[in-house]
Structure 1
Amino acid sequence: MTQNSVLDRPSVVRRDGRRFLVAAFACLLALGLTCVVFVWTPGGQAFDGALLPMSERGASYEQDSALLEPAKAVLSVFGDRMVLAVVVLVAVLLSRRLWTAVAVVGVVVGSVVVTRVLKEVVVRPDLGVLGSSTHNSFPSGHVAVATALLLAFALVLPPVARWWVLLPGSVAVVVVAASTMVTGWHRLSDLVGGVLVAAVLYCLAAAAPADDRVAVRRRVRR
């Protein structure tokens, strides 16, 4: 590695950090807009209800579909705490630095905490939408955790191996998200909200690779 490339590295790290901070702000803004549009407006509530009619009628939260039992099976496996703990442990073991191990746990646990808090704080008003329920399910914790687990591997894997995990992992997130709708657990806006919660936390974690910066400074001083 040339001297110039070593000296340029800190500026690259800072620039990438700023980009992730901007992305975190964009995802946070999108999360707020999703809540405002789909939870607090008649049109948004009507759109969500049209995609999940049985849930909005309040008669049954499960969709009458051949996919119902497979969806329940998917959520049963994904909802197993032992399975989730093993996946998180694998991501932690793949971490090469302390900050990435902490970031993995922080992104996953943070997604759980944030979604639970938002469900308590966000109120779904009765806006007179025909058949609409005032039960709040925004955002989806299942989708947030599924997305957080996927992004956790993006934090710890090298770029060459990253796509081999991200592509099938994205399919898994979509399956989990679809399963929550088939079972009537969540509306479409809940799924979008869950993804955005995990994305915000991931971008914040990726914006602060502290160990990388320390390592670069030491190499520059030498």
Structure 2
Amino acid sequence: MGYGPFGASMVAMSIGSLYSVGRSTPGPARPLPHARAAVPLGLRLLVAALSGLVALTLTAAVFVRTYPGQWLDGVLLPRAERGGGYEQQTVLVGPAKTVLATFGSPSLIAALLGVVLLVGVLRRRLVAGVVGVGIVVCAVLLAGAVKSELPRPDLQILSSTTHNSFPSGHVAAATALLLAFMLVLPGWARRWLAAPGAAGVSVIAAATMIAGWHRFSDVLGG
């Protein structure tokens, strides 16, 4: 029995539909493993901590120990013409000092750390809560140790002093508190906290400079 060109093509298509060549058996799609899932959380946190320590060291080396760094600090935060301090001549000095006095209250810090622990307990993430508290305590202690032990050389820069204020303890505490809450909160809450939390840290950082407590490099180090 013969087939024309049209009939031959129909037969070929019928055969092709019966036998799948080069195709795997259909089945449920398997999700690819996420790259971060292969790295333990503890290792990721350790890498982040070491990266922060390297950044702190580089900031101190550039801004505290070199002439261009000290000069740039003076440009970003010039000394006041009257009084010789770094307190800026602006109406924001009063609000800035109020912000710093409020956030610097030991009672408020203790209450916020208690909230971190409480959230960790309620979410059955006590270890994360303890780690969050430890982050805040270590950040404050490290900032105080560096501030007291790091010398600031006199590089003969006009309007610069040898008083070392690097890094800012207020900014370090604020940043560490934000990270502590990010550790214990669920994912959806972290998204809502990230932006206002960063804004709060920025307000505290700006307040330290307006009040003349810290230079720009101190804020960056904190």
TM-score in terms of structure 2 length: 0.78
1:57 Cα offset (Å)? 9.1
CA shift digits 1:163-208 (9 cap, x unpaired) = 11121111000000000000000011111111xxxxxxxxxxxxxx
Matched, 1:181 2:209: yes
Which of residues 131, 139, 144 in structure 2 aligns to 1:116?
A: 144
The aligned amino acid for 2:208 is T
CA shift digits 1:64-113 (9 cap, x unpaired) = 10111110111111011111111111111000223112112101111111
Distance 1:86 1:122, change over 3 A: same
Q: Which residue of 2 aligns with 1:77?
A: 102
1:13 Cα offset (Å)? 6.1
Q: Which residue of 1 aligns with 2:220?
A: 192
Which of residues 106, 115, 119 in structure 2 aligns to 1:90?
A: 115
Aligned partners of 2:205 and 2:219 also within 8 Å = yes
Which of residues 133, 137, 148 in structure 1 aligns to 2:176?
A: 148
Q: Which residue of 2 aligns with 1:59?
A: 84
Structure ranking higher on relative contact order (CA contacts 8 Å, 6+ apart)? 1
In terms of fraction of residues, the more helix-rich structure is 1
The aligned amino acid for 2:216 is L
Aligned partners of 2:129 and 2:180 also within 8 Å = no
Bigger Cα displacement from structure 2, 91-100 vs 177-186: 91-100
Supply the distance in 2 between the matched residues of 1:97 and 1:58 (Cα, whole angstroms): 51
Which of residues 131, 138, 142 in structure 1 aligns to 2:166?
A: 138
The aligned amino acid for 2:61 is V
Larger Rg: 2
Identity %, equivalent residues: 52
The aligned amino acid for 2:219 is L
Distance 1:125 1:107, change over 3 A: same
Q: Which residue of 1 aligns with 2:50?
A: 25
Supply the distance in 2 between the matched residues of 1:57 and 1:49 (Cα, whole angstroms): 16
Aligned residues: 188
Supply the distance in 2 between the matched residues of 1:149 and 1:164 (Cα, whole angstroms): 15
Q: Secondary structure at the match of 1:53?
A: coil
Structure 2 unmatched runs, 5+: 1-29
TM-score in terms of structure 1 length: 0.78
CA shift digits 1:26-84 (9 cap, x unpaired) = 22211111000000000000000111112699712311101111101111110111111
Q: Which residue of 1 aligns with 2:12?
A: none
Which of residues 127, 130, 149 in structure 1 aligns to 2:155?
A: 127
Matched, 1:160 2:192: no
The aligned amino acid for 1:70 is P
1:16 Cα offset (Å)? 4.0
Distance 1:83 1:56, change over 3 A: farther
Bigger Cα displacement from structure 2, 146-155 vs 23-32: 23-32
Supply the distance in 1 between the matched residues of 2:75 and 2:180 (Cα, whole angstroms): 34
Q: Which residue of 2 aligns with 1:101?
A: 129
Structure 1 unmatched runs, 5+: 195-222
